[in-house]
Structure 1
Amino acid sequence: MWGYLTLLPIFLALWAIAGVWIVFGIAVANRTVNLSQGFPYISICGSYPPQSCIFSQVLNMGAALAAWICIVRYHQLRDWGVGTCFNQLTLWSGLICALGTSIVGNFQEKNQKPTHLVGAFLAFIPGNIYFWLQFLQSWRMSSLRQPGEPWIRPLRLGLCGLCTLLIMAMIVLHFLQLRSAAAACEWALAMLLFMLFGLFTVDFSELDGCTLCLRPQPGLPALPGSPAPSQV
């Protein structure tokens, strides 16, 4: 039976994908975006109430789940023998992506555009870097037995490459004033990043849970009666 860690990435992907499209649907229904004038950016859809409240909640919860997944993945790779420096670099790029996602949700484009754009940069660029680093680590560990079918690695490579192309296309199209095309690239990019998070279900398929261990600072003795590590 799959543990909750196995289902967590799938839940994140479904939550985020469904959430942003619900925001889009509400924005179209209450006419805060007009499709006859062009296809909107995700941020435009989430800039006006009431959908801005849903937008913030979806991205805040998604950011929290993404951060938790990055931390679990860090410890999994550490147990597989991945070097600390490279593993920590990967972890921090993922956490920065989660932070950027939260900033995007809380600082709407119409209310605080500079901060919102910083959050979007942190969500998309380090997010793409995070999955490239994940692919490189899985490629370096190709001699080890890893969960999932052999096609998972080529799929990750294709999705990472497509994300990189979409980022470049989105930036170029935006500066060429082709906003609808740039917005379509942004939506596709967001969906692919959510799917890449969902693929961690394969990597977590052999995990039932994780254990939180509290250890005293080096050089200090453990207190008598300290509790054993707790299952969380």
Structure 2
Amino acid sequence: MWGYLTLLPLFLALWAIAGVWIVFAIAVANRSVNLTQGFPYISICGSYPPQSCIFSQVLNVGAALAAWICVVRYHQLRDWGVGRRLNQLTLWFGLICVLGTSIVGNFQEKNQKPTHLVGAFFAFVSGNIYFWLQLVLSWRMKSLPQPGEPWLRLLRLSLCGLCSLLIVAMIVLHHWPLRSASAACEWALAMLLFALFGLFAVDFADLDGCALCLRPRPGLQPPPASATPSL
């Protein structure tokens, strides 16, 4: 039976993918976007109520789930023997991606465009770097028995490479300007990043759960028993 940690990445991927397409459908239905004028960016679809409320909720919940996944993955890699500095660097890129996702959801393009664009940069670029670093860590630990088939590493490599190409294409096409093509690249990029998070279900397949353990800093002594309040 799969543990909840295995289902968490799958739920995140399905939640995020379904959520943004529901936002798109509502925006088309209430004519917040006009498809005859071109294919819209995700941010345009999520800029107007009522779908802007759904957009914020989808990305905020997704960001919270992604943050938890990044932390669990950090501890998993640490237990596998990955060096602390590179593992922490990878974690920070993942958390910056999470922060950017939350910013995108809360600062809609229509209301606060500069902040929204900063959040989008964090979400897309930091997210892509995070998964490249995950590939590096996985390659360095290739001698260990890892969950999943060997071809999954090749799949992740392909998805990361495609994400990098889509980021470049999205920026170039936006400035040409070929906005519909750029928007299509943005949608494809978002779907691939959600899918990469979903693939962590394979890595978490052998995990049944996790526990929170607090450790005092070196040199600090726990308080005496008499000073510990009773509950």
Q: With structure 1 as the length reference, what TM-score do the two structures score?
A: 0.96
User: What is the deviation of 1:155?
Assistant: 0.3
Deviations, residues 70-93 of structure 1 (Å, cap 9, x unaligned): 000000000000000100000000
Deviations, residues 88-146 of structure 1 (Å, cap 9, x unaligned): 00000000000000000000000000000000000000000000000111111111100
Please give the alpha-carbon distance, in whole angstroms, between the structure 2 residues aligned to 1:22 and 1:179: 22
Structure 2 residue 209 is the aligned partner of structure 1 residue 212: no
Please give the alpha-carbon distance, in whole angstroms, between the structure 2 residues aligned to 1:146 and 1:217: 32
Please give the alpha-carbon distance, in whole angstroms, between the structure 1 residues aligned to 2:92 and 2:220: 29
Partner residue in 2 for 1:50: 50
Please give the alpha-carbon distance, in whole angstroms, between the structure 1 residues aligned to 2:215 and 2:171: 47
The AA in structure 1 aligned to 2:165 is: L
Alignment of 1:131-142 (within 5 A): 131-142=131-142
Please give the alpha-carbon distance, in whole angstroms, between the structure 1 residues aligned to 2:86 and 2:216: 26
- Secondary structure of the residue aligned to 2:208 is coil
The AA in structure 2 aligned to 1:113 is: K
Aligned residue pairs, count: 226
Identity %: 82
Partner residue in 2 for 1:125: 125
- Secondary structure of the residue aligned to 2:150 is coil
Partner residue in 2 for 1:76: 76
Structure 2 residue 14 is the aligned partner of structure 1 residue 14: yes
The AA in structure 2 aligned to 1:171 is: I
Partner residue in 1 for 2:198: 198
User: What is the deviation of 1:216?
Assistant: 2.4
The AA in structure 1 aligned to 2:126 is: P
Partner residue in 2 for 1:63: 63
Deviations, residues 126-175 of structure 1 (Å, cap 9, x unaligned): 00000000011111111110001111100000000000000000000000
Please give the alpha-carbon distance, in whole angstroms, between the structure 2 residues aligned to 1:164 and 1:57: 27
- Secondary structure of the residue aligned to 1:211 is coil
User: What is the deviation of 1:209?
Assistant: 0.6
Please give the alpha-carbon distance, in whole angstroms, between the structure 1 residues aligned to 2:214 and 2:159: 38
The AA in structure 2 aligned to 1:4 is: Y
Partner residue in 2 for 1:170: 170
Deviations, residues 207-231 of structure 1 (Å, cap 9, x unaligned): 01111011223223224398xxxxx
Please give the alpha-carbon distance, in whole angstroms, between the structure 2 residues aligned to 1:200 and 1:150: 14
Deviations, residues 4-55 of structure 1 (Å, cap 9, x unaligned): 0010000000000000000000000000000000000000000000000000
Structure 2: where are the runs of 5+ without partners?
Answer: none
Please give the alpha-carbon distance, in whole angstroms, between the structure 2 residues aligned to 1:214 and 1:165: 42
The AA in structure 1 aligned to 2:157 is: L
Q: With structure 2 as the length reference, what TM-score do the two structures score?
A: 0.96
Partner residue in 2 for 1:107: 107
